[in-house]
Amino acid sequence: MRISILGANGFLGRRVAERLAADGALGGRRITALTLFDIADLPADAVPPGTDVIFQLAAVVSGAAEADYDLGRRVNLDGLRAVIDACRALEQPPRVVFTSSVASFSGGQGVVLGDDARQLPANSYGTQKAIGELLLSDASRRKFLDAVSLRLPTIIVRPGRPNRAASSFFSGIVREPLLGLETTLPVPDDFAVWIASPRRAVAWLLHAASMDTSAMGLDRSVSPPGMSVTVGAILDALEDVRPGAAALVKRVADPAIADIVAGWPAAFAPQRGLALGFSPHEPLVDIVAAFVADDLESTRQDRAITHA
């Protein structure tokens, strides 16, 4: 089996690559080649002949796509079109796993969206992701490829440094205090968000790459079973793992960020995802503990932090 990961230097791309390299197989088939690609126009060798699976994880994130419309459209749409064209050149249609987003929906606080909810994005990033889903569903119908589009929740806790995603602070209010650093919270404590852990997201991506797609029909998009939590609950879980750490979170309003995330739905009823075999989520406190176990020390070293 030959696998390409586009966006391989992102934190999910690196984790998927590490897992595949460690396992040496996917869906019971031995991996014979692993092609990793990031941050450049798509070259011909990013999807070499005989490619069986493509993880399309490359994207301009939400805040950056909103700030630079041309960049977001070029990467999130034109980049995906290049992937589809590369698939058309292959002898056999590959499985394409595409990371879509909860941002492709709107509705805000207090809503619980079912599997048949209409996508009505409230930002350019979400719009680009929704368009990408439709392009891949059509390409699957035409048998250019075999797509599974995962509408990923907000992923916490992300290692490393804050990025330009509007959702970055959801990780920041856990990661920074665990590093001994102050951080800001731009929304109220009762603000609810649909989340997933890095461990769970990787498990979903690998399942999407090896699952039987015959039950999906024309609809190649799925909302996996994340978890709806409030900011206050995240801070409570932080306190459970590291007492006193939540005191480093300072409430500072940021209307630009709040306006973006306020449009995202706070919860889903992901019955289709469960029926398709995507695993349910672990408890919130386990997410914080997993960051400490998996990523805290490497994040501290990467950022040259010697205290905490």
Residue 69 falls in the annotated catalytic set: no
Task: Please state, in angstroms and as integers, the Cα–Cα distance from residue 210 to each residue in 1, 81, 244, 287, following that order.
Answer: 11, 23, 43, 25
Which listed residue (37, 125, 144, 291) is catalytic?
Answer: 125
Give the end-to-end CA distance of the chain in Å, rounded to a whole number: 44
Q: Which residues pair with 56 in a beta bridge?
A: 6, 98
CA dist., res. 85 & res. 183, Å (int): 43
Please state, as a whole number, how many other Cβ atoms lie within 10 Å of the Cβ of residue 235. 20
Task: Please state, in angstroms and as integers, the Cα–Cα distance from residue 169 to each residue in 106, 141, 272, following that order.
Answer: 19, 38, 29
CA dist., res. 93 & res. 144, Å (int): 5
CB 200 within 8 A of CB 281: yes
DSSP summary character for residue 214:
G
Closest CA to 54 of 4, 100, 15: 4
What are the catalytic residues?
A: 125
